[in-house]
Structure 1
Amino acid sequence: MPEWLAEHGIGESRYARILSGEIVEARILLDGVARAGARCTARLVSVRPLAIAEADGQQFLLPKGAKGISEGQELVIEVTREAIPGAEPWKRPLAVVANEGEEAPPPLDAEALPFPSPSDPLGQAGWLDLLEEARSGIVRFDGGELRISPTPAMTLIDVDGYLPPLELALAGAEAAARAILRLDIGGSIGIDLPTVAGKAERQSIASAIDSILPQPFERTAVNGFGFVQLVRPRARASLVELAQDRPPFEARALLRRAATEAPGAKRLIGNPMLIALLEQKPEWIDSLSRQIGGAVTLRSDASLPIHGGYAEKV
């Protein structure tokens, strides 16, 4: 049986690996975004200063270039990193020229769940709590909390709490490693831990990270100031990065909540930015209407925060 569960919702597909009733790993894949590992036929539109290929109206950077291929020629590319939210051009999706004869990597082996479902396995495992961690960047653990901040250079994780320094550093390192998996954080990651004296103690903190994070990843030693840097493969945006794009993130979350509640006609009530986005997505509203078996209307309420949308029966 696959370890992962998949829930194909409106505008996104949600993936979770659940152990002992808790989500230990999760992914959100957006509809319309070329997924890491996918192969497609593209056209090379530029070779200098950057090699750029275009497929289905989307541009992909080719960091390794496209040797032997001229501008305007077709080529087969394999996506290595999905588009990352943000305006920086270097955060566009990345790809490589696919090698002939090599098969594309298999997709994630996941059991597709019926959705909506009265049992709601993802909801029972804490999907709403996971989304709150992503939007707030705060992850609590016994004795302290993590504050996760995505930056253009790396994702920073600050560890704070009330335990003695070594205990807090060990607990924080373990919590950070779990949060990295749970929130699908890749790329360069910096963890700021309490300062701990002693090489052996700092090595035990590093070992705590190694015991939880699966390979492949690289890390530095924990330095005398309590800082350790990790580098993991980065195939897509983390849940924390997706949550930075607030209106779409909150709109998709609201649609999921509306679909899992009692069926029948509903009115979605939310912040004006949220409602404005939904008005631009009639296909999302139509999909929800089919899922709940009733008409869906919208109402704007400026008193609500962006994450405070809700559905009411009509």
Structure 2
Amino acid sequence: MTEWLTEQGIGERRFVRIAGDEITDARIHLEGTPSAGELRQARIRAVRPQALASDGQVEFLLPGGAGGLPEGASAWIEVTREPIPGGEPWKRPLARVVEAGAATLAPDSESLPFPNPDDVLERAGWSDLLEEARSGLIAFPGGTLRVSVTPAMTLIDVDGVGRPADLAEAAAKAAAAAIRRHAIGGSIGIDFPTVSGREVRQRIGEMVDAGLEKPFERTAVNGFGFLQIVRPRRFPSLFELAADRPGFEARALLRQAARLVGLVRLDCHPAVAAALRPEWLEQLGRQVGGNVTLRENAALAISGGHASQA
């Protein structure tokens, strides 16, 4: 199994696995948010109709209940899902009540120095990965995957040319790779071209199986070409993070700027400028060893920000 690499950026921590000089798995943890697997001491806030706990700063949903503890009781909780961007209550972080002193093992990882002249992530396609997340479009030989995030599930639609069976098989490989690469969890629907023949549909399902790590469950490909997958959901996907475009683009701009030295100027859309927190700019200034100036430009696309030597 390829080891995880971690890169501590401004406002976020990036996790990747790289094989064959390409990113095979990636996720982003936002600074200041609970981390999956983390233990926290909290207080039970409610047991009905839905169990809730709070550590004084963050409120957690407890899908498994409060473990028999009454309201107001102190408890140790383990974060089982990081918060999902969006205002819906169910997108709050999830946790479970655990015994005091319980511990979970984090996956082995190697920390990458950042900034570093050897940009390992960029060489493996980090910028391309972000472009896929912001656009929802992923090209593969003969077609394109169109990824849409809905409250119920992440939908992957297959478009392309050629024989439906050939297109569906190529899309099965591409979809499985995209699910891993963008940390898509929960309920996932893939709409393949309609193909005839049970053997072909079975082969499409087997190709998805070969591209995904367990655990997950899936249905068979039905007669209309639809397949559903359910994977553990511990982190927001890159597509969900990209839905907060100003914040997503602000952190991407900071990563770009951190590689410069001395006086730095950031040119960006006003919405991105508003998302750049003062403490982030101060941290950037310390990294580059000079003052950071910010210039808003409404004519720029929201993803068109760039950093330059001032």
Both structures adopt the same fold (TM-score exceeding 0.5): yes
**2:2, 2:17 within 8 Å by CA — same for their partners in 1?**
no
CA drift of 1:106 comes to: 1.1
Q: Which residue of 2 aligns with 1:305?
A: 301
Distance in 1 of aligned mates of 2:197 and 2:56? 55
2:280 is aligned with 1:284: yes
SS at match of 2:50: coil
Q: How does 1:1-314 map to 2 (within 5 A)?
A: 3-100=3-100, 103-260=102-259, 262-278=260-276, 281-314=277-310
SS at match of 2:133: helix
5+ unaligned residues in a row in structure 1: which ranges? none
CA drift of 1:145 comes to: 0.7
Which stretch has the larger CA shift, 41-50 or 1-10?
1-10
Distance in 2 of aligned mates of 1:58 and 1:29? 16
2:298 aligned partner, one-letter code: A
1:294 aligned partner, one-letter code: G
**2:24, 2:177 within 8 Å by CA — same for their partners in 1?**
yes
Distance in 2 of aligned mates of 1:256 and 1:100? 38
Over residues 69-91 of structure 1, what are the superposed CA-to-partner deviations in whole Å (9 max), with x where a residue is unaligned? Answer: 11111101111111001111011
CA drift of 1:66 comes to: 1.0
Over residues 227-275 of structure 1, what are the superposed CA-to-partner deviations in whole Å (9 max), with x where a residue is unaligned? Answer: 0000000001000000000111000000000112x31111111101111
Distance in 2 of aligned mates of 1:3 and 1:312? 34
CA drift of 1:68 comes to: 2.4
SS at match of 1:211: helix
Over residues 35-63 of structure 1, what are the superposed CA-to-partner deviations in whole Å (9 max), with x where a residue is unaligned? Answer: 11111100111111111000141100011
2:23 aligned partner, one-letter code: I
Percent identity over paired residues: 59
TM-score, normalisation: structure 1: 0.97
**2:2, 2:19 within 8 Å by CA — same for their partners in 1?**
no
Distance in 1 of aligned mates of 2:121 and 2:67? 45
TM-score, normalisation: structure 2: 0.98
Distance in 2 of aligned mates of 1:159 and 1:14? 28
5+ unaligned residues in a row in structure 2: which ranges? none
CA drift of 1:290 comes to: 1.1
**1:2, 1:109 within 8 Å by CA — same for their partners in 2?**
no
Distance in 1 of aligned mates of 2:56 and 2:246? 25
Over residues 114-133 of structure 1, what are the superposed CA-to-partner deviations in whole Å (9 max), with x where a residue is unaligned? Answer: 10000110011110000000
SS at match of 2:16: strand
What is the number of equivalent residue pairs in this alignment?
310
The CA RMSD over aligned residues, in Å, is: 1.2
Over residues 127-156 of structure 1, what are the superposed CA-to-partner deviations in whole Å (9 max), with x where a residue is unaligned? Answer: 000000000010000110100000000000
Distance in 2 of aligned mates of 1:99 and 1:22? 40
SS at match of 1:71: coil
**1:170, 1:208 within 8 Å by CA — same for their partners in 2?**
yes
User: Hey, which bits of structure 1, 4+ residues long, moved more than 4 A?
Assistant: none
Over residues 161-189 of structure 1, what are the superposed CA-to-partner deviations in whole Å (9 max), with x where a residue is unaligned? Answer: 01210000000011000000000000000
